[in-house]
Amino acid sequence: MHYSLGIDAGGTYTDAVIVRDSDGSVIEFSKALTTYPDPLPGMKNAIDALTPEYLKDIKLVSVSTTLSTNTILESTGFPVGLIMVGDYVIPEKLPTAYWVTVSGGHNNDGEELQTLDIASVKEFALKVKDKVSAFAVSSYFSNRNPEHELAVKKVVKEFTGHPVVCGHELSQDLGAYERAITAFLNAQLIPVTHKFIQAIVKEFEIRGINANLLMLKCDGSVVGIEEALEKPIETIFSGPAASLVGASHLSRFNTCAMIDVGGTSTDVAMIVNGLPQLSNIGAVVGGWQTRVKAIRMETSATGGDSHIWVKGDRIYIGPRRVIPLCRASVTYPGFKEKLKLNKVAKGYLCESIQVTKFYVRTDFKPIELKAGEREIYRHIGKEPVSFGDLLIALKKRPAPSILDSLVQKRLIQSIGFTPTDALHVLGEYTEWDVEAATIGASMLGRILKQSPETFSAEAKRRVARNIAEDLIAYLIEGMPRNEIDRVLLGRNFTRFRVEIPVVLLGGPVKAYVEDLRTLINADFIVPEHAEVGNAVGALVGKGIKRVEILIKTKVIKSLEGKAENIDNEAHEKCTAENTLPYETKNEFIVFSPSERTKFESYHEAVEFAEKLGRQLVMDYMVSAGLQKENINIDVSRKHLAPSGWTDVPLETKLVFVGVGIPKTTITA
């Protein structure tokens, strides 16, 4: 009997699931706390909780992880030199101090605009080679002609020996600057990803697991380990992508919306006819706009570990994540007694200062601290300290802004009341210490003159409303949040209705179903194994490859034996007025990820593009370990032509989408 292993390292928990290959049944699963900054120990803990007998027969392992996303968000990637070829308008903000612009680049027809200044490339590479670990290069219209990027790559590798990432290798979309950012982030992640994958491979060797290793991409597809090493940027947001694919598999719906309520956040996405909906603009991570094809999703800072706090007569949720009181009580002996004795004057209450708020030091090492930060930081250790403790130690009120800064720098971590605590009080989720959660609810409820149960129920309803708001914001793009909230609160004498199933994932997600049904008329479904749907998704992701090929029509004018280009708009006007002073003919340029080719007839260009696109998809899928008989390729066409145009289209875009099932992966 053969089995497959899916692993998802999420923001709070790392999940592992074993699935039987013959019928796709979930045989066993486990959960362990995710470890920072290295997720591998958490993965080991999750695997250790599985039955060893099953592990002996594992033939496929698929992983989704927050490693790439966290590396970008925390700016902990390796230093990279950025080379931009062409007449760039440089924004005020660049992701690196090591960058240069050099002459070169092409126009939108792939014709050279300026000669590549290769001497400046060599000079820059030699200048920074000992300060960076890799290089990234992006050239103007490299998606139309990559020859300048490839020339830079060759020279830099010869002179430095460092890895070089080209923008056209990651995206064929327009936007030279965005391709530059994408290439930079990818280059930054390569050493981190190499170290992580080597550690995983070594761990499996130690355990005697001889399996094909895959990683999940942010578009919901799986990729072989070699491509994961070359293009780690494509694994950002693989967690939400895994959840979406897992929701579809567990519910058996090819079209559905997905809500994943995790510890850190709530993610909403949608799958249509078995394919995840993708963002039109590419993934945005750490404030950087990339050209990475990722699932379109709505994410909010509402999760099981979101901080619930009070000020005045209101309950607030988030945006910060904290350790739940119920879990802190198990982790830190004596914490419960400390919680009971904590007191804070009403005038001091804010997000950073609460009767249920405590702080502990993390394993991150401080690099640069301001005087105020250093003063507070030295009074926070490995055991929880409260606002009162700091007040006594400092002999003055600790500034909330400094506490917040230390949290942002990940030097300290907060403990507080959370939705997880509220569910413990209500008896709907009781994995940790119920008494500690109840103490916290009593302390916060007292401020609002509410019982622990009343306070927890109200907090739970607020969380459900936030989740409902995220779902509608995703389905109705552009609708203002305040208008969504008005409808959810019943102030417009109307109610939202969702026509497709909504699949819920997450540990205690069942607790929110009834509240969600009172807010939205929809079929909310919690499938079996919803608590590890993301790990299942990491395993059942299909092999998906998208290739876009553009055919562009150029009008060539011929006058006295000389051929020149003519603007299509000018040609159209002259044709209409019958004033062409020369002979014309059409030329058709095919732009693909692999080459740029010219043809004299539109039919030949289309025929070539059709064959090339299918071949590029098939070659990729086979190299990723897919069998030809399990690969299906769909082709869509979009034509661009003015109104009333009777000639061949000015532009034709062919989009090839190949879908297949990896070898030894599971089937539904």
Q: What is the mean pLDDT of residues 99-122?
A: 92
In this prediction, residue 635 has a pLDDT band, given cuts at 50, 70 and 90, of: very high
Q: Is the pLDDT reported for residue 226 higher than 90?
A: no
Question: From start to end of 492-591, where are the E strands?
Answer: 496-497, 502-505, 520-521, 524-525, 543-559, 562-566, 583-591
From CA 349, how far away is CA 329, in angstroms rounded? Answer: 23
Look at the alpha carbons of 199, 200, 201, 207 in this order and tell me if their dihedral is positive or negative: positive
546 or 549, higher pLDDT: 549
From CA 201, how far away is CA 209, in angstroms rounded? Answer: 9
In this prediction, residue 354 has a pLDDT band, given cuts at 50, 70 and 90, of: very high
Q: What is the mean pLDDT of residues 541-545?
A: 76
User: DSSP 3-state assignment of 34?
Assistant: coil
Q: How is the beta sheet containing 80-85 ordered, strand by strand?
A: 99-102, 80-85, 134-139, 164-166
In this prediction, residue 577 has a pLDDT band, given cuts at 50, 70 and 90, of: low
Are 464 and 258 in contact by the 8 Å Cβ rule? The answer is no
In this prediction, residue 417 has a pLDDT band, given cuts at 50, 70 and 90, of: very high
Question: Which of 74, 78, 133 minimizes the C-alpha distance to 364?
Answer: 74
Q: Is the pLDDT reported for residue 666 higher than 50?
A: no
From CA 524, how far away is CA 540, in angstroms rounded? Answer: 22
Question: Which residues have a Cβ under 8 Å from the Cβ of 141 and sit 6 or more positions away?
Answer: 86, 105, 106, 107, 108, 110, 176
**DSSP class of residue 361?**
E
> What confidence score (pLDDT) does residue 668 get?
36
Question: pLDDT tens, 592-624?
Answer: 888 889 999 999 999 999 999 999 999 888 876
Question: pLDDT tens, 547-576?
Answer: 889 999 987 765 444 445 555 555 555 555
Q: Is the pLDDT reported for residue 71 higher than 90?
A: no
pTM of the model: 0.77
Q: What is the mean pLDDT of residues 12-20?
A: 87
N- to C-terminal Cα distance for the chain?
17
**Helices 238-251 & 533-540, crossing angle to 10 degrees?**
90
From CA 59, how far away is CA 483, in angstroms rounded? Answer: 50
> What confidence score (pLDDT) does residue 34 get?
85
From CA 124, how far away is CA 156, in angstroms rounded? Answer: 9
From CA 362, how far away is CA 145, in angstroms rounded? Answer: 48
From CA 549, how far away is CA 637, in angstroms rounded? Answer: 10
Are 543 and 624 in contact by the 8 Å Cβ rule? The answer is yes
Question: From start to end of 44-110, where are the E strands?
Answer: 58-65, 80-85, 99-102
Question: pLDDT tens, 284-335?
Answer: 777 788 888 888 988 887 888 889 999 988 999 988 889 999 999 999 999 9
From CA 587, how far away is CA 553, in angstroms rounded? Answer: 6
- Rounded CA Rg of the chain: 28
How many helices (H) and strands (E) would you count in the chain?
A: 21, 32
**DSSP class of residue 649?**
-
Return the percentage of the chain with pLDDT > 70, whole number. 94
From CA 213, how far away is CA 225, in angstroms rounded? Answer: 6
Mean pLDDT of the chain: 86
DSSP assignment of 419-485: HHHHHHHTTS--SS-HHHHHHHHHHHHHHTT--HHHHHHHHHHHHHHHHHHHHHHHHSTT--HHHHH
Look at the alpha carbons of 135, 140, 144, 146 in this order and tell me if their dihedral is positive or negative: negative
CB atoms inside a 10 Å sphere around CB 349: 18
Question: pLDDT tens, 428-452?
Answer: 999 899 999 999 999 999 999 999 9
From CA 77, how far away is CA 190, in angstroms rounded? Answer: 9
The string over 562-577, giving b where at least 16 C-beta atoms fall within 10 Å of a residue's C-beta and e elsewhere, is eeeeeebeebbebeee
What are the residues facing 385 on neighbouring strands? Answer: 359
> What confidence score (pLDDT) does residue 568 get?
54
Query: What is the CATH topology of the domain spanning 241-356+417-537?
Result: Nucleotidyltransferase; domain 5 (3.30.420)
Question: Which residues have a Cβ under 8 Å from the Cβ of 478 and sit 6 or more positions away?
Answer: none
**DSSP class of residue 234?**
G
295 or 646, higher pLDDT: 295
From CA 426, how far away is CA 455, in angstroms rounded? Answer: 10
> What confidence score (pLDDT) does residue 208 get?
86
Q: Is the pLDDT reported for residue 153 higher than 70?
A: yes
**DSSP class of residue 541?**
P
